[in-house]
Amino acid sequence: MKKPKLSLFLFIDAFGWEMKQRHPEFLHGLIADSKPLETILGYSSACDPSIISGLTPAEHGLWSSYYYDPENSPFKWTRPLSVLPSFIFDRGRVRNRLSKWVKNRCGFTGYFQLYAVPFKNLPLFNYAEQRRIWEPGGLPHGKSIFDLLSKNNIPYYAHDSSQPDEIRIDRLKKEIEAQSIEFAYCSLGKLDALMHAKGNQHPDIGKLLNEYDAQIRDLLAAAEKKYDAVSWYLFTDHGMHNITGTVDLISEIKTLGLKWNKDYTAFYDSTMARFWFKKNTARNAVSAYLENHPKGRVLTDSELKQYGVFFENRQYGELIFLMNSGLQIAPSFMGKKPCAGMHGFDPADPDSFAQISSNKPLPESVTKIQHIHQLMLEELKMEGEASSEPLDNNGSDKASPSSK
């Protein structure tokens, strides 16, 4: 006997609007409507919480992964790691293993990576996503869809980010076949990793999308057999740019003769540099240098507010410098070498745009990735829920027994 309804929200990381246009055969014949969506300035650490909450980073509190906070840093105990030889411990596999160790030692449940943050600098920073966002109580501020699912005792599936795509899909299919869920949120990450490594036009992209196409068609066919009504949405958080050049901004700032953590501190993301100042002379020197930089721009408070990433307390930086699209900071605290593809540039650039596709007509009001949350509420008949309502994040709420 079929169950009444299933709502599927399927997320392919970095499958943006431009990429979808290049691959019109993807899910051909199944898509009733699709449209581009404006992304959030920043990375998945900002976009993903916005999708599941309907809030901007300024509202839910998560933007970039690291921020300057030496007094409350959970990494103070890592100071001895600074003596480790860089030619060994800067290797990707070694850093990945160290990331798992540090994550467990700090008690983090959210996504965590050391990336290439220098060990000597790590104790100066705090980490934003300490809790897993794909469950109730995962956001610093506001409610996510998982809080509402739990509150209303709706059985659901949420992916496990530590598992490969194939296992995420297989587990979701088993839940569907068992008719144990009414809602699913499943994120797939292989495309994002592939384009970071090979850019946004490599032949392997088509091969991977063909695999996704077959897997998703199989998933939807299984859902149609077990449920009377199946609504599905296929979306992403951002697009992907090809990297056309690099800038060694770390070395450039060092030429100003300022003293690290006495005059200023900075965090060098892949496409942004974020600064905190202890002296006005340092602020003036860095500002003057970057205001005239030909390969990027200093973001004004007005722009930050427009993007939804302005923080009154300057938690994520007192000065934010954004690279021109296609130019990557390398080396950076995110990696020693440049990638072939990267995101996190100006949201207005074509390759930055996200997208959403569905087997249902999409409302004109859905124009940004945070609007996907409203579609979730409508699917669950929760139109009256206030996503900005303060949430007690004491971890006491429990997910529905059939959630994952």
CA distance 83 to 80: 6
Rg (CA), the chain: 21
Number of domains, the chain:
3
Domain assignment present for 392: no
Mean pLDDT taken over the chain: 93
Asked whether the predicted pLDDT for residue 73 surpasses 60, the reply is yes
Asked whether the predicted pLDDT for residue 331 surpasses 70, the reply is yes
Please, which pLDDT band fits residue 16 given cuts at 50, 70 and 90?
A: very high
Mean pLDDT value of segment 366-370: 98
A 10 A CB-CB count for 348 gives 12
Specify the CATH number for the domain of residue 252: 3.30.1360.180
Shared domain for 198 and 259, answered yes or no, is no
Shared domain for 102 and 235, answered yes or no, is no
Please, which pLDDT band fits residue 88 given cuts at 50, 70 and 90?
A: low
β-strands 319-323, 272-277 pairing: antiparallel
Give the pair of three-digit tokens for residue 179: 């008719």
Domain assignment present for 45: yes
Shared domain for 251 and 327, answered yes or no, is yes
Backbone dihedral region of 83: left (phi > 0), alpha (psi from -120 to 50 degrees) or beta?
A: alpha
Displacement of CA 338 from its chain's centroid (Å): 19
A 10 A CB-CB count for 341 gives 26
Domain assignment present for 343: no
Residues 6+ apart with CB under 8 A from 343: 14, 43, 238, 239, 240, 241, 271, 352
Mean pLDDT value of segment 133-156: 96
Give the predicted TM-score (pTM) of the model: 0.92
Contact between 369 and 47 (Cβ < 8 Å):
yes
Shared domain for 160 and 236, answered yes or no, is yes
Shared domain for 141 and 217, answered yes or no, is yes
Contact between 207 and 23 (Cβ < 8 Å):
no
Domain assignment present for 66: no
Shared domain for 115 and 248, answered yes or no, is no
Shared domain for 48 and 101, answered yes or no, is no
Domain assignment present for 385: no
Mean pLDDT value of segment 371-379: 97
Specify the CATH number for the domain of residue 365: 3.40.720.10
Domain assignment present for 117: yes
276 backbone dihedrals φ, ψ, rounded to 5°: -125, 145
Give the pair of three-digit tokens for residue 16: 């943006």
Q: Is the peptide bond before 331 cis (omega within 30 degrees of 0)?
A: yes
Shared domain for 282 and 352, answered yes or no, is no
Shared domain for 51 and 163, answered yes or no, is yes
Mean pLDDT value of segment 100-115: 94
Residue-wise pLDDT tens digits, 209-243: 999 999 999 999 999 999 999 999 999 999 999 99
User: What is the domain extent for residue 199?
Assistant: 3-58+132-241+348-379
Shared domain for 274 and 322, answered yes or no, is yes
Domain assignment present for 402: no
Domain closes at, from 80, 108, 124: 124
Shared domain for 144 and 35, answered yes or no, is yes
Shared domain for 220 and 251, answered yes or no, is no
- For the ranges 52-66, 246-260, 369-383, which has the lowest average pLDDT? 369-383
Give the pair of three-digit tokens for residue 201: 């036009």
Residues 6+ apart with CB under 8 A from 155: 180, 181, 182, 183, 400, 401, 402, 403
DSSP 44-96: HHHHHHHHHHS--HHHH---SSEEE-TTT-TTGGGGGGGGS-HHHHTSHHHHH
